[in-house]
Amino acid sequence: MPDLLLEILSEEIPARMQPAAAGELERLVVGGLSDRGLLFGSARAFAGPRRLALAIAGLPAAQPDVSEERKGPRVDAAEKAVQGFLRSAGVALDACVKRGDAKGEFYVAVIKRAGRAIEEVLSELLPGCLAKLVWPKSMRWNAGTVRWVRPLHGIVCTCDGEVVPFEFAGVRSGNATRGHRFLADGIIEVRRFEDYEKKLADAFVVLDAAQRKEIVLHEATQKAFALGLKPIEDKALLDEIAGLVEWPVVLMGTIEETFMQLPAEVLRASMRLHQKFLALGQAGTGSLSNKFLVVANIEADDGGRDIVAGNERVLRARLSDARFFWDLDRSRTLSSRLPALKDIVFHARAGSMGDRARRMEAVAMVLAAVLGFDAAKCGRAARLAKADLTTGMVGEFPELQGTMGYHYARHDNEDETVALAIRDHYKPQGPADGVPEQPVSIAVALADKLDSLVMLWRAGEKPTGSKDPFALRRAALGIIRIVLENRLRLPLAEAMFAVIAAARDEGSGPRRGEQAIGNPLEPGSRADREVAAELLRFFGERLKFALRDRGVRHDLIDAVLSLGAEDDLVRLVARVDALDEFLRSSDGANLLAAYRRAVNILKIEEKRDGRSYDGEPASDLVQVAEEDRMLSALAAAEEPISVYLKEERFAQAMTVMAGLRAPVDAFFEHVTVNVADAALRHNRLLLLSRLRRVLLGVADFSRLEG
């Protein structure tokens, strides 16, 4: 069966764009083949600095023949209508058959199309696929109209070893490509993927990015091991390096000893951000070594000595700048930098970073009071948390904000817990990042994220669809993780109103040693109450996402949240877990079915009667034993369930609720609700209403699916 080989050769493609482009190319071509009824065995996409490639194996030689039927006018229709139908279908009258139905006899055109050869289909399909491939940034060249990430040099396209002819961006397809830009000369002619991959390897090009990463990691590990070192894990950097080189050659360089007094994070940032160097750590301690690895794209005649020397010179200049900022920044304390925060805008409608620091201080102290932490330390850490934004080092390396605050706080002899909180208050920054665990760090991290959520939500910066420019979804998930993983009993509404109260009292928040702001539950304006309500719903949606990996059903969270006034995440999750376990039992499943039956009866009868059945059933109208047992069971269960829920003994509440199964099942089996006696019918509907009310005390069972 024919195989397809497609390669697009161009100027250097940015490393960050390569994986997505390869995946999109595969998706477009595979989708186009499938739309045309062409099945195949396998597809593999490849990306590198200068080329995208796609190999598809097991294609059919041609499209399958297709037969299509199209219904036409009745046989006794006007001649003009019949001829118009034949022209639109592209057939003659003798290619039609007559069929009949209840309305009479009509023509049916039978249209048969022979499948086209695979080469013909590919010639038509591939230019469109390349045109549809979208890049984050693209360009035009040679006064052309086609946009591509970089100017194209060539296109290889063969099927079963023969060239598939087409043109894209002024470049015609063929079977000729090139190897490494510097290490290989001349044209390489290829026919199939196997010889294409081998000939590229002979021309110093490793086609597969995964193989390039494996080569880098293997050589890096071997060179480091020889010196008792090991590469410091950095998957993102390794991915980027694999997108920068076609023929990876790992070389080792040295950091001058004079720069080793800089914080390790500064050294790593300088090497990683500007030079794409791999850092090495001591095999035993993991502490940063004065050795680094550079991955070159060529095999040099001198073994790479000049390459290493050149990279060491560049790194020396970078680190000299870093040392200058390090010494200059330490000449002032963090606290002396606080006035400069007023010159940094947080958001046009949420004030400056100075305003944000004051709000965070106030909120952190409220959180400390609620959670039993040291309020003075929490307030101090929150006040200083953003001060390093005014330093030269963070200006040079923005990714070190927080980290440099930690080092400068230690230099200023701030309390160690305060310094750690400054470092950790941005955590977690992603699913793989850990959450703060120290009390002061927890308070400041929560204050930071709560301030972002509340103030930016008030400013109208709500996430919409896939757009979330201020990462509010990540902030909410961070709060959820911090609360749940540290099992914090934190009412979210109180925390949000603390931010609102701090914003109302802008500029007069508490200072170190002062008492926290007044009643954080003061509702404020109607708009603020709406913000809090919207954010609680937002937290509910984010909680579903956060618990998805645990297999927690989203409808269980809805069923508990819909009762309202539940903003304690630890309690909410415990309640959801207990409800989940209950519903997995036969008692829970049957009681849920009975609840739905009761609610459906009530819904129908309340609509028909134009009234709601919310009162208490009268015991003197109870006539059937099963009716009496259900009434007694509900009366006996209602108060214990309420007490257990208040005491957060959710498993016991579910056990009491499970005891309702037998009397409720017996009621529906032996009692008729809609009887002729109006008083008796009314009383039985009230009994169903009481069942609904008792269960609604636990969760809104109408929200449950399945």
CATH of the domain at 462: 1.10.3210
The verdict on residue 44 lying in a domain is: yes
The verdict on residue 556 lying in a domain is: no
Instruction: Tell me how far CA of residue 303 lies from CA of 182, 276, 296, 298, 515, in angstroms.
Output: 16, 20, 11, 10, 67
CA 688/CA 685 separation, integer angstroms: 5
CA 445/CA 53 separation, integer angstroms: 45
Domain boundary among 284, 301, 329: 329
Pair 672, 683: CB distance under 8 Å? no
The verdict on residue 559 lying in a domain is: no
pLDDT of residue 480: 96
263 lies in the same domain as 284: yes
251 lies in the same domain as 296: yes
457 lies in the same domain as 592: no
Q: Which tens digit of pLDDT belongs to each residue from 400-439?
A: 999 999 999 999 999 999 999 999 999 999 888 999 999 9
pLDDT of residue 519: 38
pLDDT of residue 508: 38
192 lies in the same domain as 227: no
How many domains is the chain built from? 5
What does the mean pLDDT of the chain come to? 91
- Listed as ranges, residues in the chain with pLDDT below 70 are 506-524, 565, 706
The verdict on residue 565 lying in a domain is: no
pLDDT of residue 137: 92
CA 8/CA 50 separation, integer angstroms: 8
413 lies in the same domain as 497: yes
Q: Which tens digit of pLDDT belongs to each residue from 140-163?
A: 988 888 999 999 999 999 999 999
pLDDT of residue 511: 38
Domain boundary among 143, 169, 202: 202
The verdict on residue 568 lying in a domain is: no
300 lies in the same domain as 434: no
The verdict on residue 606 lying in a domain is: yes
By residue range, what is the domain housing residue 98? 66-113
The verdict on residue 77 lying in a domain is: yes
pLDDT of residue 515: 37
In the three-class reduction of DSSP (H, G, I as helix; E, B as strand; rest coil), residue 182 is classed as coil
The verdict on residue 572 lying in a domain is: no
pTM above 0.75, yes or no: yes
313 lies in the same domain as 417: no
- Total H helices, total E strands in the chain: 24, 18
Domain boundary among 166, 185, 202: 202
415 lies in the same domain as 296: no
Of all residues in the chain, the percent with pLDDT exceeding 70 is 97
663 lies in the same domain as 596: yes
629 lies in the same domain as 686: yes
pLDDT of residue 360: 97
pLDDT of residue 520: 39
pLDDT of residue 706: 62
For residue 57, how many other CB atoms are within 10 A of its CB?
16
